[in-house]
Amino acid sequence: MDTRTPIPASQQPIAMSSRQNTSASAGLRLLRTVVGAACYFVFYFVQQMAELFAPLLLIAGAAWAALPALVKTLTRTTASADPQAHDAIASVANAIPEQITLAGHELTASGLICDGLGLMAVAAAGATLAMLVGRKL
């Protein structure tokens, strides 16, 4: 005589539903992979662009900030040597702008330096997020 208790009908596996669950989970895994790959692409692209422009902005801002000081130093040293050279260098010193308006945006030396540092932070955040998304894939 069989002493095992039968499994209720509600708990018995159905072959059709297990196939549907497998294909649904495969579809969700594919969707997750596609979304993760798109996020990884965006984060990595932003990181690369930030790494490209950050040093350019930093160098341009630092050079622009240092240029007036260098020209003033040059003006002081040439003042006693040649009056004409002194006048030429003084006119160059006066021609260096403190700010430039480009397409409605005001650019300054300190602004370029801050933008460069901000882009460095964006590059670091992009690298971190790309790494996290890459681990999840």
Question: What is the pLDDT, as a whole number, of residue 86?
Answer: 73
**Residue-level pLDDT, tens digit, the chain, 137 residues:** 566 666 665 665 555 555 667 777 888 888 988 998 898 899 889 999 999 999 999 999 999 999 888 887 877 777 677 777 777 777 777 788 888 998 988 999 999 999 999 999 999 998 898 888 888 77
Question: What is the pLDDT, as a whole number, of residue 13?
Answer: 55
H or E segment and range at residue 102: strand 99-102
Structure tokens at 15: 């072959």
Structure tokens at 93: 């010193």
Query: Is 0.85 surpassed by the pTM of this model?
Result: no
Q: What value does the CA radius of gyration of the chain take, rounded to a whole number of Å? A: 33
Q: Where are the domains of the chain?
A: 43-135
Q: How far apart are CA 100 and CA 22, in angstroms?
A: 61
Place of tokens 């798109």: 38
* Burial category of 117 from C-beta neighbours within 10 Å (exposed 0-12, middle 13-18, buried 19 and up): middle
List, in order, residues 6 or more apart from 45 with CB less than 8 Å away.
Answer: none
Question: What is the pLDDT, as a whole number, of residue 2?
Answer: 60
